[in-house]
Structure 1
Amino acid sequence: MDSYRVEKQAAQRVQLADQDAEIDPVPTDGGGHKADPELDRLSNIIRGFNDLFGNIAWEDGDRIRQLIANEIPNKVAANAAYQNAKQNLDKQNARIEHDKALGSVIIGLMKDDTELFKQFSDNPEFKRWLADTIFSATYDRPASPPP
């Protein structure tokens, strides 16, 4: 540290107009407050699903809708790595952990819900839609205890 020293490299003058001026006060509203999340209603999720993937001949469409609207978001939201990423990382890194958690949940459903697993694996549009929908449903949700 002895070899470092402060050196003056340049000097400049700042010229201000010679007039009376006023500085606006610092705003006191909105600082440090996280806005309430806009929760997508279940009916909007189902409508979006039907609009995009209503042409898929599901054997048990009601069960698939139930999985997408409730079970999958709850299981993904309970994933410890995803919860940690939401609390400690930025949204992009949280999305990476979310996608890993979603993949694990879908693989866990493979035994009982092979149709859903097949669409998730073979249909990139379905996979992207499901990932976007579940991420939106879980990102702003408070942490929940594991099931």
Structure 2
Amino acid sequence: MATDDLDDMAALLGDPDVMRYYPRAKDRDEALAWIDWNQRLYRREGFGLWLVTLRSTGEFIGDCGLTPQEIEGTTDIEIGYHVRTDAQGHGYATEAAAACRDLARDVLGIKRLIAVIHPDNTPSQRVARKTGLTHERDTQTRSGQAARIYATAL
């Protein structure tokens, strides 16, 4: 993810349908901050969220990757994903999430992986289950939003 990807990321994170389980969609400046955050993660952690593109055309369809997340005082590595509304339902999030899970396990040596998902976001919960994560508990994020934690040992 680079600054040159701002148009794609701003469209993705600014889409109210993609962001319906977040407090709100992000504006262009917030999308740039998202890119900057990921670039800092790459430098500090060696990973972050990456662009998801179609192999056949190179077309941008979303982002997916690994980020540290603090939940209830414990920091775990989360697998996260966003897919353009018009590309949802084709298995892209599952394919990308499975690749990130494998990277976490096989290359990075991460021992536990989580997904923090809004309780009403059943499509994202399906992706988590298909990726091998199971419902662990319900909680709230630091911002007070309800969250369902899916987790797996790697």
- TM-score range relative to shorter protein: under 0.3
Query: Higher helix fraction: Structure 1 or Structure 2?
Result: 1
Relative to the length of structure 1, the TM-score reads: 0.27
* Rg (Cα) greater in structure: 1
Bigger RCO of structures 1 and 2 (CA < 8 A, at least 6 apart): 1
Relative to the length of structure 2, the TM-score reads: 0.26
Query: Higher strand fraction: Structure 1 or Structure 2?
Result: 2
